[in-house]
C-alpha cells in the first residue's frame, strides 16, 4: 500500500527583508502612530517574520516633516506620513491627502481605488522620488477650539487661528490670520492668548492635548479635513527589490491600516466627545454663512492654484467631477438614512 | 576579499494549499461575484501561488443558499455568502449581515473590528460549524421598484412586495405582503403584476436585471439594508490546518474585499442612476410617516425576537448602544459636511 502523500511544499524560500519606517506622528497617539505600528506588525505576520519593518517616531531617524525627503533620497526604505505636509513642493500633493470641502472617506477610497485617483497621483509622487500607498484615514475632523463664539463671518476677521495646509490659505481669504504652530506648542499659545483658536484632529486626540481646558467652544465640522488620507511612502528602488508577493502583502497591510485607523477613531471619538461635553465643552456648528463664504473662498483658491499649475488643474477637475457625482448619489441612499436615524434614534 | 553576502533566506518553504470556495452570488454580477474572485486572486498573489482558492458560482458545487451548510459539514473548505440567508437557523445570524435601520458601513466596520462585534458573533458562527470573516459590503441599498407611488403608510396595505430577511417581517407589521422570490424570477413576476414591487440592491445591479422596464418608481432609502456585510465562511478544521501566516493573509484579503466591493459600487452606482433617471425612472423618497412606522415596527420586532432568544437580545443590545452612539457622533462631524456639500455643490 502506498503511503498517503503530504501536499508538496514549494521549493522557494521566503526572502528576508529589513526596512526602517520613520513617521510624522507622535508615539503618544495610539491612533496615528498606532496604525504605523500595526502596518509593520501585519507585514511581519503575513510573511511569517521574513519581512520586518521597524517603525520610528518623529525625530528618531528623521524629523517629522522630512519623512518624504528621507524616503525619496533612499536614506530609509519607507515612511509613514501625509503628502500634504509637503505641499510647498507641489500643490497636487494636497489632493493625495485631502482638499478642503473634499470627499467623505468612502468616496475618497472609491476615487483612489476605482475612480482613477491613484493613477492620477502616480506622477505627483514620482516627482518626489517616492511611491505612495494609501495607509490611514482619520475620518472627518472637528473644526477646532475657540475662546469665543463664531456667529458670523465677521467674527473671523483678524482671528488668529492655528491651522495647517490649504485650509489656512482659504480662511485667510475671509479674514482669518492663520498660524503655523507645531502640535506640542498649541496648548501654551492658546492658554496665553497668543492665538484665539486652534484645530487638531477630533475628540479622542484633542482631549489628550487638553484644549478643553483653555478654550470653551468646540466647532464642527472640520471642512478642511473631511477625510484626510495618510500614506506609506516607499522608495522605488527598495520597492522594486521586493519579491512580488511581498509587494502584494505590503499593499494589503496598508489597506487594512487605512480602515483600521477609521474603525478605531470611530469607536473612540463618541466616548471622548461625551466626556468633553459633560465637563463643560460647548459644542457648536459653524453658521451657514461662514460655511458658504469658506466654500466660495475654497473654489476661488482652487481656480487660482490651477491657473498657476496645469497638473493641479487637471487632477482637481477629475477629482471634483467624481466628488460632485458622489455627493449627489450619497444623499439619496446613504445620507437620507443617516439623517432619519439621527432624529429617530436620538436619546430621549 | 570576502564576497558580498546576499541576505540569508529563511529555510521554511511555502506550504501548498488548495481550497474550493462556492458562493451565493450570480457570476454575472461583477460586484458581488467579482469580489469573491478578487479575494481568491489576492490570496494567491500574497502567497506567490502557494495558497490557491478556486471560486465557484451558485449551483456549481452547492446551491446558492446552502453555502454555509457545505462549509459547516466540511464538504468545502470555505464559501462566500451572507449570514442572514440562514436566519431561519438563528436570528443572530442576521446581525452579522445587517439589521433594518442599522449602521452605516463605517459604523458597522468599527463595531465589528473595534467595538466587540466579531467577538460577540463568534459563538453564533461556531454553532453553525463555521468561522465568519467580514469580506464584502454593498453600501446602502435602494428601497426598491414600485408600479405606483407610495404616498403614505396606507399605500403599503396589501402591497405584494419582493423582499428577503427581517425587512419582510417588519414590513408585514404595517400591511405589506412580503414575497420571497429568487433573483431570476423577480422581473417576470413584476412584469405580469404578480407582485407590486421588488427590492434587489442598487442602481448598478438593478439596471442589469431590467426592473426599470416594468416599474416606474424607484424609492430610497433601502432602510432594511443600510450596509449589508458579506462573509467568507471558513471550515474550522481547514482553517486550523493553515500555517499562521496564511491565516493572516486570508484575513487581509477579506478586509480588502469588504472595502473594494464598496469602492466599486460607489464608483458605478451614480453613473447607473443617472442613466436610469435620464431614461424615465422616477426617483422618490419614502414619506416620513412610512419611515417612522417602519422604524417603530422594527423596534417592536427586535423586542419580540429578543424575548424569544436570549443571545439575540444580548448581542442586539450592545449593537444598538454602539449604533446610537455612532449616529449621534456622525451627525456632528460627518453628516453635517455631507448635507452642506449636497446643497453647496449641487449641479446648477
Q: What is the mean pLDDT of residues B212-233?
A: 97
Within chain B, residue ranges assigned H as helices are: 32-46, 67-73, 92-97, 105-114, 117-126, 166-172, 183-191, 203-209, 236-240, 244-278, 288-308, 310-333, 335-344
What pLDDT does residue A346 have? 81
The size of chain B, in residues, is 348
Cell of B19: 481550497
Q: Residue A120: pLDDT above 60?
A: yes
Phi, psi for B199 (deg, rounded to 5): -115, 150
Domains of chain A, by residue range, sit at 16-139+228-267
- Which residue is associated with the grid cell 451548510? B69
- With contact defined as beta carbons under 8 Å apart, do A93 and A81 qualify? no
Q: Residue A115: pLDDT above 70?
A: yes
Considering all CA atoms of chain B, what is the largest pairwise distance in Å, rounded to the nearest integer?
92
**Mutation choice for B interface testing from A111, A333, A346 by most B CBs within 10 A:** A333
Is B245 in contact with A270 (Cβ distance < 8 A)? no
Percent of chain A whose pLDDT exceeds 70: 95
What pLDDT does residue A6 have? 45
Q: What is the mean pLDDT of residues B74-99?
A: 96
What pLDDT does residue B7 have? 52
- Which residue is associated with the grid cell 481656480? A303
What does the pLDDT look like over B102-139, one tens digit per residue?
Answer: 999 999 999 999 999 999 999 999 999 999 999 999 99
CATH code: domain B16-139+228-267 is 3.40.190.170
What does the pLDDT look like over A206-237, one tens digit per residue?
Answer: 998 899 999 999 999 999 999 999 999 999 99
Q: Residue A154: pLDDT above 90?
A: yes
Count of other CB atoms within 10 angstroms of residue A11: 7
What pLDDT does residue A5 have? 44
Q: With 0-12 CB in 10 A as exposed, 13-18 as middle and 19+ as buried, what is A198? A: buried
| Cα separation, A283 vs A145, whole angstroms | 10
**Nearest residue to B56 (alpha-carbon basis) of B44, B40, B69, B43:** B40
Q: Which residue of A has its CA nearest to B116?
A: A267
What pLDDT does residue B13 have? 63
What does the pLDDT look like over A185-205, one tens digit per residue?
Answer: 889 999 999 999 999 999 999
Q: Give the DSSP per-residue string, A180-235.
A: ---HHHHHHHHHTTSSSEE--S-HHHHHHHTGGGT--EEEE--TT-SS-EEEEEE-
**Mutation choice for A interface testing from B38, B120, B340, B348 by most A CBs within 10 A:** B340
Percent of chain B whose pLDDT exceeds 70: 95
What pLDDT does residue B307 have? 98
Cα distance from B115 to chain A (closest Cα, Å)? 6
**A188 in contact with chain B, both atoms CB, cutoff 8 A:** no
What does the pLDDT look like over A276-286, one tens digit per residue?
Answer: 999 999 999 99
What pLDDT does residue B62 have? 95
pTM value? 0.95
Q: What is the mean pLDDT of residues B79-96?
A: 96
- With contact defined as beta carbons under 8 Å apart, do A325 and B272 qualify? no
Q: Which residue of B has its CA nearest to A41?
A: B248
Distances (CA, A) of A275 to A204, A264, A300: 10, 17, 39
What pLDDT does residue B9 have? 52
Q: What is the mean pLDDT of residues B137-159?
A: 97
Cα distance from B319 to chain A (closest Cα, Å)? 12
Cα distance from A102 to chain B (closest Cα, Å)? 9
Distance of CA B48 to the CA centre of its chain: 30
What pLDDT does residue A4 have? 43
- Which residue is associated with the grid cell 446648477? B348
**Nearest residue to B18 (alpha-carbon basis) of B38, B44, B46, B57:** B44
**Nearest residue to B261 (alpha-carbon basis) of B232, B221, B281:** B232
Is A291 in contact with B344 (Cβ distance < 8 A)? yes
What pLDDT does residue B260 have? 98
Distance of CA A153 to the CA centre of its chain: 27
For B23, the 3-state DSSP assignment is strand
Residues 6+ apart with CB under 8 A from A95: A121, A124, A312, A315, A316, A319
Amino acid at each position: 500500500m502506498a503511503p498517503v502523500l503530504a501536499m508538496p511544499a514549494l521549493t522557494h524560500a521566503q526572502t528576508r527583508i529589513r526596512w526602517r519606517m520613520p513617521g510624522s506622528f507622535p508615539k503618544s497617539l495610539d491612533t496615528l502612530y498606532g496604525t504605523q505600528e500595526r502596518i509593520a506588525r501585519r507585514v511581519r505576520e503575513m510573511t511569517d517574520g521574513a519581512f520586518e519593518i521597524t517603525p520610528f517616531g518623529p525625530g528618531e531617524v528623521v524629523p517629522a516633516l522630512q519623512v518624504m525627503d528621507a524616503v525619496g533620497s533612499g536614506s530609509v526604505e519607507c515612511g509613514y506620513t501625509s503628502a500634504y505636509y509637503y505641499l510647498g513642493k507641489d500643490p497636487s500633493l494636497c489632493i493625495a491627502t485631502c482638499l478642503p470641502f473634499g470627499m467623505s472617506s468612502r468616496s475618497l477610497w472609491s476615487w483612489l481605488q476605482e475612480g482613477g485617483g491613484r493613477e492620477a497621483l502616480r506622477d505627483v509622487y514620482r516627482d518626489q522620488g517616492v511611491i505612495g500607498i494609501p495607509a490611514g484615514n482619520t475620518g472627518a475632523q472637528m473644526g477646532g477650539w475657540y475662546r469665543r463664539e463664531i456667529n458670523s463671518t465677521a467674527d473671523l476677521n483678524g482671528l488668529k487661528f492655528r491651522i495647517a495646509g490649504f485650509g489656512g490659505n482659504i480662511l485667510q481669504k475671509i479674514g482669518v490670520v492663520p498660524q503655523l504652530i507645531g502640535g506640542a506648542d498649541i496648548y501654551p499659545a492658546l492658554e496665553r492668548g497668543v492665538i484665539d483658536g486652534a484645530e487638531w484632529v477630533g475628540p479622542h486626540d484633542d482631549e489628550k492635548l487638553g484644549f478643553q481646558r483653555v478654550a470653551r467652544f468646540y466647532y464642527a465640522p472640520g471642512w478642511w479635513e473631511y477625510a484626510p488620507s495618510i500614506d506609506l511612502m516607499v522608495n522605488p528602488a527598495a520597492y522594486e527589490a521586493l519579491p512580488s508577493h511581498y509587494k502584494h502583502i505590503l499593499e494589503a497591510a496598508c489597506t487594512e491600516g487605512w480602515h483600521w485607523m477609521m474603525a478605531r477613531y470611530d469607536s473612540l471619538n463618541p466616548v471622548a466627545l461625551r466626556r468633553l461635553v459633560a465637563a463643560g465643552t460647548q459644542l457648536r456648528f459653524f453658521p451657514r454663512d461662514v460655511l458658504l463664504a469658506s466654500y466660495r473662498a475654497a473654489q476661488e483658491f482652487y481656480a487660482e492654484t490651477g491657473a498657476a499649475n496645469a497638473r493641479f488643474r487637471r487632477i482637481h477637475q477629475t477629482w471634483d467631477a467624481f466628488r460632485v457625482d458622489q455627493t449627489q448619489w450619497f444623499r439619496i441612499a446613504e445620507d437620507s438614512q443617516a439623517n432619519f436615524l439621527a432624529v429617530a434614534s436620538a436619546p430621549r
